[in-house]
Copies of this chain bind each other. A is one copy, B any other.
């Protein structure tokens, strides 16, 4: 039985941003400064916990890749439990809480139990990580939209939406897709997109950020050669050509082919 000891339980979902602890919002930082308890993700920077007051209880409820360390239902229960026990709970989530972050499910659960819950958006990796690697998602004259999806879904729907996106000018951003990159690139190939530039960016916004560049039919080999690992995002589209290294690699490749 949960002891309902705190008179003012409340929850704030905070987007921690892509990883660099300075990419949290001022509002998010202030929420942490007033937290009595923090439940944080594997993807949220640990340095952010330093903003918390001394009395604050800190719990790691991280999930990473497909390895579920805490079931979503357990996290939901913990949120309610901690709010009733401690008062103001900050739920710190990597990126933005509402982009594949299951933030909505948490809000519904906690509000149905009478605990006021608010959201402070974060900088989503889907947009910021390409930017930090020098790849803008939209550029006048190149494209007019971008499409963000997750790889962990029924392949049928992925295929249909990729077909539509591939026919458009959209830059395609795929989150949590590294383990399925071969399968994903096969879908693009089936739509005649073997030459479209692709970037895979690991540890975006951190000092360890690295990138693999190629095209739909070469990126899998690049990823293997460079030992790319999760967390990583995949960017597919002509805008990838604007990456500084892409052009030089492209030219070196051309030069090598010419000398054969």
Q: Which of B100, B119, B147, B164 is A167 in contact with, Cβ under 8 Å?
A: B164
Complexed CA–CA distance, A122 and B29 (Å): 15
Q: Which of B119, B122, B168 is A161 in contact with, Cβ under 8 Å?
A: B168
Copies in the assembly, this chain: 2
- Interface of A, secondary structure class, is mixed
Q: Are B131 and A119 in contact (CB under 8 A)?
A: yes
Q: Are A98 and B29 in contact (CB under 8 A)?
A: no
Q: Which of B130, B146, B160 is A147 in contact with, Cβ under 8 Å?
A: B146
Number of A residues whose C-beta is below 8 Å from B?
A: 59
Chain B residues with CB under 8 Å of A170's CB are: 147, 149, 161, 164-165
Q: Which of B96, B132, B138, B160 is A99 in contact with, Cβ under 8 Å?
A: B138
Complexed CA–CA distance, A168 and B164 (Å): 7
Complexed CA–CA distance, A158 and B169 (Å): 10
Chain B residues with CB under 8 Å of A136's CB are: 98, 103-104
Q: Which residues of A contact B (CB under 8 A)?
A: 15, 17-18, 20-27, 29-30, 96-100, 102-105, 119-124, 127-128, 130-132, 136-140, 144-150, 153-154, 157-161, 164-165, 167-170, 242
